[in-house]
Structure 1
Amino acid sequence: MSGASTAAYLARRAAQKERVRILYRRALKDTLNWAVHRHLFYQDASDLREKFEANKHVEDLDTIDKMIDAGEATYNKWRHPDPYIVPWAPGGSKFTRNPVPPSGIEILYDYGQEEND
């Protein structure tokens, strides 16, 4: 392989690894939404890991791209319709519950201590 083709191969392979990593993390986090108890989650997570490990040996770049596309399509099809959102995260029930005060309002943090002159 020439230097340019080697660089292109490595760049494409790195992009594929990143896509697989993102897909695995999303699927693993989504598994938490489906599993009610931790012992169920551990079994589902183990099954998910086995699915990813089964294709670890594939080297053909086009085949890998097709497998990633199929995995992303499956993930989108089976994604949880009402995922758990941490309350203080965007979309959570406590997000921006206490908004930042408008500009021009000064907050004094003296906690009721009076100045003795």
Structure 2
Amino acid sequence: MSVATASYVARRAAQKERVRILYRRALKDTLNWAVHRHLFYPDADALREKFEVNRQVEDIERIDRMIAAGEATHDKWRHPDPYIVPWAPGGSKFCRNPTPPPGLYPFCVITYIFLPS
């Protein structure tokens, strides 16, 4: 494989990864705007259609411009207060029961004493 071909393949792989990441982020953000599934599914189909329209584009420079435009649009229309799963980092239940401070550890140890019967 020549250097030019390897460079082309590597750039196309990077573009595919960026498109995949953009699609997943946009799909998750769509769920923040349409909180009920019956509202989400048509929006998800419309989003998928926007991506599918440009699936056959082969010009590398045009693909880079379209990805940049898609990322800019996503950043512009991101939800200001996204839904976070309660037990995930940033959620309301995350670290609800944190570990005790280091100075309290000897006092928190439960000691079992077994007496001979």
Aligned: 1:73 with 2:72: yes
TM-score where L is the length of structure 1: 0.88
Per-residue CA distance 1:31-56 (angstroms, 9 max, x = gap): 11011311110111000000000000
What is the CA–CA distance in structure 2 between the aligned matches of 1:96 and 1:40, rounded to whole Å? 32
Shift of 1:102: 2.7
**Alignment of 1:4 onto 2:3:** yes
Q: Which residue of 1 aligns with 2:43?
A: 44
RMSD between aligned alpha carbons?
A: 1.8
**TM-score after normalising by structure 2:** 0.88
Aligned residue in 2 for 1:100: 99
2:4 & 2:101 partners in 1: Cα distance? 56
Residue ranges of structure 1 left out of the alignment (5+ in a row)? none
- Residues 63-108 of structure 1: CA distance to partner in whole angstroms, max 9, x if unpaired? 0000000000010111101000111111111122211223361555
Runs of at least 5 residues in structure 2 that lack an aligned partner in the other structure:
none
**How many percent of aligned residue pairs carry the same amino acid?**
71
